[in-house]
Amino acid sequence: MDQTGVRYDARTEMEAKPSSRAGVERVARMEVIKGIPVSQGIVIGRVFVLDSDARNIGRHHIQREHIDQELQRLDAAIRRSREELAGVFKDAESMMGEEAAKVFLFHRGMLEDKSLIGPIRAMIMSEAVGAEHAVSHVLGEWADRFGRMSDLAFRSKVNDLEDLQERILTHLTGERRCQLAQVPAGTVVVARDLTPTQTTSFDRSRVLAFATDLGGKTSHTAIVARALGIPSVVGCQSLTRLATDNSTIIVDGDRGVVVLDPSEEALDDYRAAIKKRQLARVTVPDDARLPALTLDKVEIRVLGNIEFPDEIPSLLEQGGEGVGLYRTEFLYLTSVKEPTEADHYNAYARCVSLLAGRPLVIRTVDLGADKYTQERADVPERNPFLGLRSIRYCLRSIPMFKTQLRAILRASAHGPIKIMFPLITTTNELRHARLVVHDVMEDLDEEGIPFDRSLKIGMMVEVPAAALMADTFAREVDFFSIGTNDLIQYTLAVDRTNERVAAMYNPLNPAVLRLIRDTIRAGRRHDVDVSLCGEAGGDPETALLLMGMGLRTLSVTASSVAPLKRLIRGVSMTQCERLARKAFSFDSDVQVAAYLRDRARKIVPEAFDGRSVDDADPGAGTDPA
């Protein structure tokens, strides 16, 4: 793999064919590009490279006596944009639920921000230029400034600014352009970046997936893609330079892999995998009613990870037994204003209602790092992943923290809820957080507001410090949930959103496995429930290893629930334990992965039929061919 994130496989060289963009002959060679997965699924389609559609707005000067008229044009365009966004929100709400649709309320709020709109008006007045140029120049400068920043929190807002710029200019000029209007069915959009509006406007009968050079997991475009179920991979760096219109492309939204010009062998593998997953979806209702019991009758609980309440019906349909991780920070990321207690309560109460007595584990807000806080800070942190994030941020923002805790406790009166604190590293943090919970309970008592007095409190184990001190923490919590996404990142010093070091981010690293094993053992010694809610739990090979290490609860994405339950029913715990013992004899992730890959296919071959390139585990998808 070279520094662009592209691995070349000389064995897959295909016949020469013309490049539709360059107009020259080239030898097509399969190229596997690693990016950042943001929405699950796998698709085989044809490339449509979406050119940068930036408007070329010249510096048009106006007469001084026409400045007021130009300001009125600007105000009218902003007013129409705000009205349009209200309608877009309603349409998006019907498609993907209220929480995800709040992205467009965020955009509407930006149009009311004087610090954003004021400089546009000031430029028109001071320089006597047309409104179009002022909008293009000011918002373009903001986008460029954010795009140059190293912090992902700022970079992820570039497409929001571009979205607003295009919307206002459309109302100023009366032009509405769309390159995607006539694309054929089976299209995969490849672009430098996409805005949320572009993503929601895709004709889903024609556009199957998208992949971009830029972007991150927490951008508003990523939120929209997940909510709409559009398979997508972002952060591919050089994809638009390598892709050619109408060439074959595979987008693997599960593993963050894009395959350009796939070989016939790779295509056959992916087609087989897609057909298998389509068949699995047809049989999901039958599978969902079956328990996750191993061949030797050991029960494994399979829960789901969600970001929005509206994901729960799909989770239950897939056979999920409850929610093991509700990520609540999207209440903040999809709104221009901090959510109120009512906003929190309504979301949690809806979850409780939809789950109808099944468990709900609510993680308190995991803000910071690449999320939310940095763009609000006067001086952004140099290294926010090691800064004031997660529980640290909450304990520095007690009023905000209490607002969420009040809502959680109020909702607990209607059904089973557990509270889970993220990124706990010291006992002082845990004790402080528990103290705040008890303070809120006393407040509710005084107000006569009911709540579940026996509500369980747990913590995420996602930093080495927590895993190493698991015996101590186990004396003070009701449960552990191992968050492998951050645990891998902090143990291996690998930024999990950085595609340049993506190959080093591996849940099978022996150091990571030992921390997981020690946490499970500490939980058993103290009779504390231990679950795992990271992405690693949805991988079949890793799941077998985790079960063999002693895990009895896995929380995964909804699309992974049914395949995981089928996998569990096809193995014995004795086999899993034997596999785990052998895996711990190796000293490298390469050896562990090779052993698991070989043994898992022999134990449950039906779970691995049709695996795709590099043994990625493709999700359900579509092959237009």
Report the pLDDT value the prediction gives residue 380, as an integer from 0 to 100.
59
Helices (runs of H) and strands (runs of E) counted in the chain: 25, 18
Residue 622 belongs to some domain of the structure: no
Which positions ≥6 away from 452 have C-beta within 8 Å? 409, 412, 413, 416, 417
Average the pLDDT over 274-280 and give the result. 73
Judgement on whether residues 438 and 556 belong to the same structural domain of the protein? yes
> How sure is the predictor about 3, in pLDDT bands with cuts at 50, 70 and 90?
very low
Judgement on whether residues 150 and 217 belong to the same structural domain of the protein? no
Residue 533 belongs to some domain of the structure: yes
Judgement on whether residues 439 and 411 belong to the same structural domain of the protein? yes
479/77: higher pLDDT: 479
> How sure is the predictor about 137, in pLDDT bands with cuts at 50, 70 and 90?
confident
Residue 287 belongs to some domain of the structure: no
Angle 36-41-44 (CA atoms, 0-180°, nearest 5)? 100
Which positions ≥6 away from 399 have C-beta within 8 Å? none
Report the pLDDT value the prediction gives residue 369, as an integer from 0 to 100.
53
Residue 618 belongs to some domain of the structure: no
Residue 401 belongs to some domain of the structure: yes
Of the three residues 122, 138, 173, the one that is the final residue of a domain is: 173
pLDDT tens profile 71-100: 998 999 888 888 888 887 777 777 666 666
* Residue 327 DSSP SS3: strand
Tokens read off for 313: 């019906």
Judgement on whether residues 322 and 383 belong to the same structural domain of the protein? yes
Distance CA 212, CA 209 (A): 11
Q: How many domains would you assign to the chain?
A: 3
pLDDT tens profile 592-623: 999 998 998 888 887 665 444 444 443 344 44
Of the three residues 141, 173, 205, the one that is the final residue of a domain is: 173
> How sure is the predictor about 420, in pLDDT bands with cuts at 50, 70 and 90?
very high
Does the pLDDT at position 430 exceed 60?
A: yes
Report the pLDDT value the prediction gives residue 195, as an integer from 0 to 100.
77
Does the pLDDT at position 236 exceed 50?
A: yes
Q: Which of 397, 292, 333, 317 is nearest to 107 (CA)?
A: 333
- CATH number of the domain encompassing residue 399: 3.20.20.60
Report the pLDDT value the prediction gives residue 24, as an integer from 0 to 100.
33
Judgement on whether residues 156 and 185 belong to the same structural domain of the protein? no
Does the pLDDT at position 55 exceed 80?
A: no
Give the containing element (helix H, strand E) for 172: helix 158-173
Report the pLDDT value the prediction gives residue 365, as an integer from 0 to 100.
92
- Chain-centre distance for alpha carbon 235: 13
Judgement on whether residues 80 and 132 belong to the same structural domain of the protein? yes
Give the containing element (helix H, strand E) for 97: none
Tokens read off for 153: 């929190």
Tokens 């698709």 map to which residue? 43
Judgement on whether residues 249 and 331 belong to the same structural domain of the protein? no
Residue 616 burial by CB count (10 A; 0-12/13-18/19+): exposed, middle or buried? buried
Among 188-202, 220-234, 530-544, the range with the most confident prediction by mean pLDDT is 530-544
Give buried/exposed letters for 549-558 (b at 16+ CB in 10 A, else e): bbbbbbbbbb
3-state secondary structure 571-623: CCHHHHHHHHHHHCCCCCHHHHHHHHHHHHHHHCHHHCCCCCHHHCCCCCEEC
Judgement on whether residues 237 and 270 belong to the same structural domain of the protein? yes
pLDDT tens profile 139-181: 888 877 776 665 555 555 677 777 788 788 888 876 555 566 6
Report the pLDDT value the prediction gives residue 27, as an integer from 0 to 100.
40
Of the three residues 152, 173, 194, the one that is the final residue of a domain is: 173
- CATH number of the domain encompassing residue 81: 1.10.274.10
Average the pLDDT over 298-312 and give the result. 92
Judgement on whether residues 242 and 105 belong to the same structural domain of the protein? no
- CATH number of the domain encompassing residue 191: 3.50.30.10
Does the pLDDT at position 427 exceed 60?
A: yes
Report the pLDDT value the prediction gives residue 225, as an integer from 0 to 100.
83
- Are 256 and 35 contacting, i.e. CB atoms less than 8 angstroms apart? yes
Report the pLDDT value the prediction gives residue 138, as an integer from 0 to 100.
86
Report the pLDDT value the prediction gives residue 199, as an integer from 0 to 100.
81
Report the pLDDT value the prediction gives residue 356, as an integer from 0 to 100.
96
Report the pLDDT value the prediction gives residue 16, as an integer from 0 to 100.
32
Residue 604 belongs to some domain of the structure: no
Q: DSSP states of 1-27 as a string?
A: --TTSEEEEEEEEEEEEE-TTT-SEEE
Report the pLDDT value the prediction gives residue 151, as an integer from 0 to 100.
52
Q: For the chain, give the percent of residues with pLDDT over 70.
A: 80
102/254: higher pLDDT: 254
Report the pLDDT value the prediction gives residue 19, as an integer from 0 to 100.
36
Distance CA 22, CA 442 (A): 69
Does the pLDDT at position 366 exceed 60?
A: yes
Judgement on whether residues 169 and 213 belong to the same structural domain of the protein? no
What's the predicted TM-score (pTM) here?
Answer: 0.68
Q: Which residues pair with 360 in a beta bridge?
A: 323, 417
Range of the domain at 109: 64-173
Which CA distances in Å does 459 have to 112, 406, 433, 470? Answer: 39, 18, 10, 11
Residue 608 belongs to some domain of the structure: no
Report the pLDDT value the prediction gives residue 21, as an integer from 0 to 100.
37
Distance CA 462, CA 532 (A): 10
pLDDT tens profile 383-411: 666 777 889 999 999 999 999 999 999 99
> How sure is the predictor about 41, in pLDDT bands with cuts at 50, 70 and 90?
confident
Report the pLDDT value the prediction gives residue 609, as an integer from 0 to 100.
55
* Average pLDDT for the chain: 82
Q: For the chain, give the percent of residues with pLDDT over 90.
A: 43
* Residue 461 DSSP SS3: strand
Does the pLDDT at position 565 exceed 60?
A: yes
Report the pLDDT value the prediction gives residue 440, as an integer from 0 to 100.
98
Judgement on whether residues 268 and 338 belong to the same structural domain of the protein? no
Residue 41 belongs to some domain of the structure: yes
* Residue 371 DSSP SS3: strand
Distance CA 432, CA 438 (A): 10
Distance CA 54, CA 132 (A): 13
Judgement on whether residues 405 and 457 belong to the same structural domain of the protein? yes
Query: Known catalytic residues?
Result: 220, 533
Angle 466-470-476 (CA atoms, 0-180°, nearest 5)? 100
